[in-house]
Chain A
């Protein structure tokens, strides 16, 4: 046990405690869904405001949305390639936006002001369930992309350039989702913990640099996740030139 002073109002720290909701005989983490709904609501609100009145000369939020769209398109086109990127742009874009808004929402929204009976609100991406869900979606996506585009020729990829690569490529299929999910989960959770611990020890000023670093990491993690997802899909749909 660490010798810590009694609870401060803004600096409580709970890890591994969840607000359980019972759904039939299934248990789900309520706090993750609550915060993810806030994130999704914010995303949809911005998108709805920005696309209400689309004009050829963009104004207001439409500028932001077009900038985001352009950014995501460049990312997807660079990783997936000119031919297939259009099909996957919405998926890559949703991953990027959801993770980015989740991360920043976890860092910027004062969740601690809302008290839950158990657990605490935070970035949805700080829960391993969310990140594994996203990573598995990426795995499904790249398998689907490869199989739908190349049929069973997709499995040639496992023996390119030589059959010696076969075991490594099979292992890769497991390490890809693992690394994706744990990288995101670890970074966001660690960021929240660092800020929380610093805020717990010194409530003023000192946590600020860590918070800024956290914002930076959050943005980078969203970019990394989306870029890697796009890269995996691009790898699956890539046509080898014989």
Chain B
């Protein structure tokens, strides 16, 4: 066991003497400085540069991936909006087509109905005219026949008398 208090004191007071003491400065100082400087260069090559590169590469990778993802998201949103607009247009278009088709059908129906009605009217008219004509001919025939018969009767009567 060494009495360290005394030794420390001795070291402090005997700074001029070469042996021992707490504040014994010697060639340890510059050599240690040199050692630390060398360590700095070694650590720079082995640790700070590669790890810094790895960390910064990753930071760059994350930043670019984020930017890319944002870009893609924006693109997807644009596409979605685009498609939604298209869908809306298509819906309106189909609605319009349906209305148009309905109108067309209606129009066709009315046209067909009108035509059929007109045709029916026409044929009825024609039939009536035919009937009238037949009746007229029949009447005139009848009148003629009656006249003939009358004449015949008259002639017979005149001949008999």
Contacts and interface: CB of A to CB of B under 8 A. Distances in A.
Interface of A: 1-2, 4-7, 12-18, 20, 23, 26-29, 32-33, 36, 40, 43-44, 47-48, 50-51, 54, 56, 58, 62, 65-66, 69-70, 73, 89-91, 93-95, 97-98, 124, 127-130, 132-134, 136-137, 189, 193
B55 A56 contact: no
Contacts of B8: 15-16
Given A2-B5, A48-B46, A133-B32, 9 more contacts: A1-B3, A13-B1, A13-B2, A16-B24, A17-B20, A44-B42, A50-B51, A94-B40, A133-B28
Interface string B25-68: 11111111101110111111011111110110110010000000
A128 B43 contact: no
B15 to A, nearest CB: 11
B109 interface: no
Interface residues of B, number: 47
A133 to B, nearest CB: 4
B10 interface: yes
Contacts of A50: 47, 51
A215 B13 CA distance: 31
B28 A28 contact: yes
A137 B2 CA distance: 34
17 contacts: A13-B2, A27-B18, A32-B32, A33-B31, A43-B39, A43-B43, A56-B58, A69-B48, A89-B48, A90-B44, A93-B47, A98-B36, A130-B29, A132-B25, A132-B29, A137-B36, A137-B37
Contacts of B122: none
Interface of B: 1-8, 10-11, 18-33, 35-37, 39-44, 46-52, 54-55, 57-58, 61
Contacts of B37: 137
Nearest to B38: A40
A66 B28 contact: no
A133 B36 contact: yes
A190 to B, nearest CB: 11
